[in-house]
Amino acid sequence: MNVVLPDKSKIELVDGSTVADLAKKISEGLYKRAIAAKVNGNIVDLSYKLNENDEVTILTDKDAESLDILRHSTAHLMAHAVQQLFPDVKVTIGPVIQDGFFYDFDTNKPFTEDDLVKIEERMTELSKKDIKIERSEIDSNEAIKKFSDMGENYKVEIIQDIGESKISLYSQGDFTDLCRGPHVPSTGHIKYFKLLSVAGAYWRGDEKNKMLQRIYGTAWFKKSDLDEYINRLEEAKKRDHRKLGKELELYGTFDEIGSGLICWMPKGAKVRSTIEDFWRKEHYKNGYELLYTPHIGKATLWNTSGHLDFYSENMYSPMDIEGQNYFIKPMNCPFHIMIYKSKNRSYRDLPLRWAELGTVYRYERSGVLHGLLRVRGFTQDDAHIICAQDQIESEINEVLNFSLQIWKTFGFSSIKGYIATRPAKSVGDDSLWMAATNSLMNSIKQSGIEYELDEGGGAFYGPKIDLKVKDAIGREWQMTTIQFDFNLPERFDMTYVDKDGKEKRPYMVHRALLGSLERFFGVLIEHYAGAFPFWLAPVQIKIMNISDEQAEYCISLGKKLKENGFRVELDLRNEKIGYKIREAQMYKIPHMLVIGSQEKDNNLVTVRLRNGENKNNLDFSDYFSVINEINTNRSINLWR
């Protein structure tokens, strides 16, 4: 038989040949490096039997898909080690996640850090044995009996839910697991891995089910990649916004108030205020009008919007007000629509760009709450654009350019777009989807940023662009969303009168630029490791005297700076100047003005920057010009 290679050439094989046979025939080197293959677009094991005219691409450790295969196989290796060390433990599921994998286990005794060390050591032993990993397919009833006999009731439940007549299994030595695959050919391919942590997790994410033990790990093809990742994790720990938020007195959460509800402390509130002021100013410059809407709305509003039908599990219980149910809002959209419908609209009114820093509340399980990144109450930088069809593309261009400008101002230069298109289940005419998707495609191409297409990944009510930004240590965060909505305009019967005098349905675009202020602030803290740029810092300048003789001069400097809008603190304590500087550096204050006799007598300042650099004996007016320039330009540099 013949199979087709990526360059469209054909190679002849004996009938019944596998992918491994093909790799070996091409070259011994490729055979040794082969991990899996793509056959007619589907990823398969090396043991897969080929057919006439199959299109085959051999995957090696150089291919992105191979890393997921390696990590999936490492999850199985970990489960193998766990069952050897703890025979009474039951295995459940072990999927690949970003940068690694996890496996959930049912055990009466929680795993300890010492247990992770033992498991990792056993995994290394199993890897060195280079055990062959073999795939088999059996009847589902036979599989149910097999796992029942093993006492693996979770696997039985999974098989019953799958509801297929045939089930695939993977075996390596004395370990067999239920899995679709594919996997690496043998355990010897799994060399560079690390178990990272253990946590509790409910079976199938349902808090009514049993709490399981989840072990997280990572795996890489190269030791250097593993070492780099571990170093990145260590750096991420140092930058953890929960740790820095407490140390820098930025925000707090309190049991007495409730989980997932954020209190912004004075320093954090200063940063938030600076962000909000910038946000408002830029929105007005870009043709937006600002709205303010209530925190609650009648049940009838949420019925019309469809939230009570499709989103009620994320909404809090209603409150009775004079015999009518009111819900605290999970979204701002219905309020903006009601403002639109408050009067008849003409094509001359469009486009409308309406934005709101609107606080919303959504139910999140306590297990997924995470500092500022996953909360129950948050303020969205929400906006809605309502326009006619011939305005779509120019509006998306404007939104995308506006988004990129904002992200670059905050110091994020690595930005990637993801376009999600129409899913199988959706609402709206094909023409609407086509026009909206084309506008997204054209705009992102014009922007020049890298992007990927997510076919069928859109919401049921419209296509969208997601922008993801990379932080200072290379982590990707999903932030901006530009989302078309063909559902709400229909549900609320939104119309405008066009040039021809006929009523038409407007296009509606949801746009969250920063996402939410809480989550954005968490990302910002970690991006800068709490050392915010001068223009964003809660305290920009700390003025400190060497002796009491300079106190009055320090006070006068502070007054001038505060009058010009700078955020200033004075430290006039009778302490050594080194102590004052160390304390200011602990709070990551960008500029420290060290004032001694020479500075006082000559109207000078000595500036110590947060990075340890000194600017000695500057005329105060010169210093003022520098900081004014930094603030005006919103520079991310400490000096000019």
Q: Identify the active-site residue in 172, 213, 380, 483.
A: 380
510 is catalytic: yes
Helices (H) and strands (E) in the chain, counts: 20, 33
Half-sphere exposure of 352 (CA within 13 A, CB side): 21
State how far the alpha carbon of 424 is from the alpha carbons of 7, 420, 445, 458, 583, in Å: 33, 12, 25, 10, 58
Angle of helix 392-409 relative to helix 430-447, nearest 10 degrees, comes to 40
422 is catalytic: no
Closest by CA to 508, choosing from 452, 461, 546, is: 461
DSSP 48-87: PBP-TT-BEEEEETTSHHHHHHHHHHHHHHHHHHHHHH-T
Q: Identify the active-site residue in 122, 307, 464, 527.
A: 464
Rounded distance between C-alpha atoms, residue 208 and residue 27, angstroms: 54
**Cβ contacts of 299 within 8 Å, gap of 6 or more:** 308, 318, 324, 325, 326, 327
Our measurement of the distance from residue 428's CA atom to the centroid of its chain's CA atoms, rounded to an integer in Å, reads: 29
**Cβ contacts of 179 within 8 Å, gap of 6 or more:** 72, 76, 168, 169, 170
Q: Identify the active-site residue in 362, 567, 588, 591.
A: 362
Q: Identify the active-site residue in 155, 179, 213, 333.
A: 333
Q: Identify the active-site residue in 267, 376, 384, 600.
A: 384
Q: Identify the active-site residue in 381, 382, 471, 571.
A: 382
Evaluate whether 384 touches 354 at the Cβ level (below 8 Å).
yes
384 is catalytic: yes
Rounded distance between C-alpha atoms, residue 444 and residue 393, angstroms: 10
Rounded distance between C-alpha atoms, residue 19 and residue 48, angstroms: 6
Q: Identify the active-site residue in 510, 527, 600, 608.
A: 510
Rounded distance between C-alpha atoms, residue 278 and residue 408, angstroms: 13
Q: Is the dihedral of CA 284, 288, 292, 296 positive or negative?
A: negative
464 is catalytic: yes
Rounded distance between C-alpha atoms, residue 170 and residue 396, angstroms: 48
634 is catalytic: no
State how far the alpha carbon of 527 is from the alpha carbons of 105, 122, 405, 449, 479, in Å: 34, 37, 18, 21, 14
Hunting for tokens 């450790």 — which residue is that? 61
Per the DSSP assignment, residues forming a β-bridge with 605 are 618
| Active-site amino acid positions | 333, 362, 380, 382, 384, 464, 510
